[in-house]
A and B are shown apart, each in its own frame.
Chain A
């Protein structure tokens, strides 16, 4: 399925602020940022930093106290909340599949309330179940209780995509899954996003997940302050302040290596007859460093997709690359 239906939309937070009644301080404080259409923006921060509040202000489950949020230039406050929500995909950690409905019925929920014709709903549901890797013949008639956690979250994502919304809100969608399933679902979602390109806001408290999923990362501090909004690489190599540096961890240098590929290095010439198995050029520098450590040498051969040797990666090359600052991209809007 290619990018069909509605295209992605730009999301703009314009000094959006939320003060809960009776709370001494704002949950989200003057949040201003722009998420370009089609990108994944990860909202990252510790508990109580307002990231979920920021997310749910977009679909008006939480109403901003002041400021504005615009989707494709239209303020959400001016739109009917129900209609707005039907144009926004919403995925939560608890998944929230309706246990008395089959998988097909769950996915069909929004198209049904939108009054689509039955044939169109059926076709769309099958298309989506195929897309998330759950063959409709096998899974369509099952109930949520008959699926594993990972399968249920796939249904949750299919349900959110059902009416082809230009925007997806995901609130720690993989937080309740075991580490292996989580990693698998992250890969699946990235693959899916390549195809459907929805503007996605993705709440997480896991730095590794943010680096992996985000085109951009917005880091929040307690009190709902946005402290840095940047590409993952920029955040890892140039944290805005001590808070960001501490939050992303002392191993940020290593994490940054997960963003770069061996093939992008200025490799040294290939040795004629290497005595170790070659690394793939598509591996990350993180993996290459790990391979160097375990091999006990300081140089390893690199091969391309066809197994041809293209060069040699060395410890010195990786060290030099790790010290190089990332290209400057986005900033706090």
Chain B
């Protein structure tokens, strides 16, 4: 218990260090997330729009979940050496599956009758995608994004193993920072992940179209 309290003393004494490490932690996480989003979201949306490739989308996700991040980093040590790139690639590989799967499911679950009605009215495939499918898919798509973000922020801790920097530098170096330092940095990682999750939760609410907001969420629908 003392060590736990000491961790707050550590925070007070090493605020600059923590802020610096937290910043590099966030930069690494953000980079990995953006790369994963750019790869996975369009692919998942496209597969969902075509209502094909569900097997791929789900399989990638399952394989991704089964791969331990530490093992990935170890594998890429051999291929990419030590440093930012190695860790970035490993984090991207972990962030892709939840985004890909949810993007696919989000678009695929849009009622096919709506798509049929839209086609029958003479909307082009792009108009169907941007006017109908994407607005209705956003909430589920965002669930995948939240999972990926939390995943990346917590896993970025392991970057320290391969010289990627971040709060992991403190957590994995008990010799230098002591147990209280380890706990302090771990708490910061947790808080970062929670804050990111809460922020994305708020964005998700804003992006959910008004007409469907009251459908499932508060049960006030008059169906």
Contacts and interface: CB of A to CB of B under 8 A. Distances in A.
A144 interface: yes
Given A100-B211, A143-B211, A82 B117 contact: no
A148 B223 CA distance: 7
A145 B219 CA distance: 11
Interface stretch (A88-96, A188-196, A218-226, A282-290): A88-96
A86 B209 contact: no
B221 A96 contact: no
Given A84-B122, A85-B121, A145-B221, A96 B116 contact: yes
Contacts of A61: 116, 119-120
Chain B binding surface, main DSSP class: helix
Residue of B131, B135, B210 ringed by the most chain A CB atoms within 10 A:
B131
The bracket for how many chain B residues form the interface is 20 to 34
Nearest to B120: A90
B61 to A, nearest CB: 27
Interface in A106-121: 109-110, 113
B132 interface: yes
Nearest to A80: B122
A268 B46 CA distance: 73
Given A61-B120, A85-B120, A143-B211, A100 B136 contact: yes
A92 B120 contact: yes
Contacts of B223: 145
Given A85-B119, A145-B215, A145-B223, A96 B124 contact: no
B114 A85 contact: no
B214 interface: yes
A162 to B, nearest CB: 9
A99 B215 contact: yes
B222 interface: yes
A327 interface: no
Given A100-B135, A146-B222, 11 more contacts: A59-B120, A61-B119, A82-B124, A83-B122, A96-B111, A96-B114, A98-B211, A99-B114, A99-B211, A101-B209, A109-B121
